Structure 1
């Protein structure tokens, strides 16, 4: 355990200047007192030198003891209230609000309702963020009770040293601290003062495979049971010894596995031999069938160790004959007594209309699985043979043989010829065709005439305007053909194209120019040969090109179409320290273009904000200028000294003025102002005030170690308080990070007598 003297030998531990730390140490030694009392079990400790925030107090306790005190019952509270000295700021204890739950930090356990010891109307979170807890000691009211407080408050640290060790309670129970001792709360399955004994269960008969981690047939022992092949357990296969001294269940038994019960097959017999009971492990069953039936499946089945038969039970089925199908174009009518196409089945055959039977009418299935004869066939009726027509083809479909019943013959003609007669003939059930064969005749196309303003010239191979006739078209001078030059009569009786027309030569269609007008005269149709077009432009635009164009015989205009171009104004540039934003409707700086001017921050526009380009090619005004903003002028009179920089002009935007005072004065206000874009200074001008207490400043800066010690002894309590007040918040943060800097005073006590040591 440390002391105040040890800390003064290392004053840097206080986190402040060497001389100031020494001054504080010498002043502190006069009231240091260490109170201690020890026993061999749970002990309490407290520091009586300084107050700490809750975090620093906990660091203090954890560095030298176990943690901030964890109070378990009212007896401890009464004891602490009786032996601890009263302190005006009271004592921190080891409970804090974590995730909105009051929690003992030493054990990470939540505070239970039964263990609460709050003072009246507490916790009230007065002032908010009161997440730590203090204990009232020797208070006029609510002595020994708790109050929630802000964790940054300064109070005494109340610590404890635990009596429980890692080996306590044989590691088979929870070690519960008491004042000066501990007790063991044994885990299930253990008992004794130190939880040294294990609960036992009754021994099991030989046979199971057991594991005994804590002793033979004791708590947590497990036993597994197995049966011989063909037998199964009746009960649980694994038992465990519970903390009650009982097994999880009664010991199981082994019983022979059973197979599914077998039934006698229809038209058959079943004969079984059973060794361990009907239809159980190793039972065998033999199957047989009546005369006239055969077995389908295994003759013998055996019940296996898996409780399954070695196969599926067989069936007794009647003898079968080969399956018969209806003859092609016929019908089959059967009578089955024992199943389809089995012994004694009879089948009768018949043929469809247009077909005749070739073979026996009826067959019967015998006991040998054979029919009494071969199945008959149905053959189609025949019609006379047909030939292809002249200039045509014959395509026949024979479903039942060449030119037989239902045969169909389709007639077609060569390209350029059409059929005169029925397209298709069919062979009927009477052996006759449905009509006479047709003839093929040439195809005809519509008669053609010469086109208007043109001529027609035709060649006919198979007659006027028939298949393969060709006709050529031509037009008069000044006109062009719209359509194919030559047409041909196709096999469909149609010309390959529509007859062409003779139309006047066309020039490309003209559009009005942008911001202009177009006026045309047409003699033979819109924009055709001899058409003339005149161009004009709107106000503010001028024509670039010919005023009049004419469509020539070659289908071209006499010149390129003109354009209407906007009148141009002189180009503009952005002013110095400004920006130019233009909208161009018809080109850069052209007619109707508008340009807006703006200035950078700290500058103001002098002139028009917007100008526009007119139809005369002139702007509506002159471009503006951007002038810098200016702040009010400043004057510096002693004892204040002023130094200014003016990058853009005297006391203008961006100007910076710095201030300082002559010796013996200190600056009251900002040391630097800047001229802002709104022509105002960033702050008020400071003043100089006369500096106070130079004597004390010189003492702190220049006195040696011995002189400082002498001054410290002579300074009054008010001077010590003043020096402590001047410690910065940064020094307090260093104390929070290094809580061992104030370990000089601790208190350790129980209900024995006290010693006082310096």
Structure 2
């Protein structure tokens, strides 16, 4: 059998709980209103805004009385400079005076020196932490080390994130050797910057000679870097050029080797399709391919129409509303003619009216005024 709960253990009625909640909310609102009144009616200052370079000393308060002072200190990574003040006073107009973080400046790294045969450039224009320094070398030297250093903050001091690079003179190892050929200065082990070598091909004991395919001269352009790949020495032999219904007019050689050039023309009654000049390429083929001579007159291509005749292209003769300029001129002539006829008709009617009245002096004034109005209408 379950015992009945004691009266002291029973929860308060739901209505009473709502009443408690209402009074607690009302009490909180009153407290907030009281704080607001204290900060406004009593000429108090609120907490100053935060700054990037400095921070408030001690624990901040919700509000400060007029005449009360606060003291700042520079944040980590910043140094204090005289004679800037780090104390602010609460003024009657709810402002803090003075209030500025100009007295705190970033900690700087040591200024770097230009390397021998090189330069250092500060990308951000300063040497404080967060800035960068970029190094470069003069011509004929290359950079050894990091090209860009960063000034970083470690504790309360700033340091560069690595040692300064150095500039060393550019040298090149001997260029590559090639098959069936050689280059000048084969006995030199080290080449200086811009030193050059020239490749040549060996003599071929067979009927066809070796052709040098590629650049014959190389020079030292960087540290162990030559200006281009070495050439090749190989036999290049293109087939004899034959052109049906045509003939060869230039490039007569007994042996057609690398870069040999031949020019053609067609016989009378034929026209050429393709290029009239071909060159023997490195893969023993003619480039471009040998043309062909076709019978008959050479076809003429129709004249290319103006671009504004293409669909979708605006016609320069069209007005802003898509009508042609000629249509605008015709419409203007028609409107002018109608206005002129109307003016003449109006003049005749007014003349007959005044003639009946016998007002002759008025006629001259009327004609002058009417023609002046007509001229203004046409000019407009």
TM-score normalised to structure 1 length: 0.23
Of Structure 1 and Structure 2, the greater helix share is in 2
Determine which structure has more spread, i.e. the larger CA radius of gyration. 1
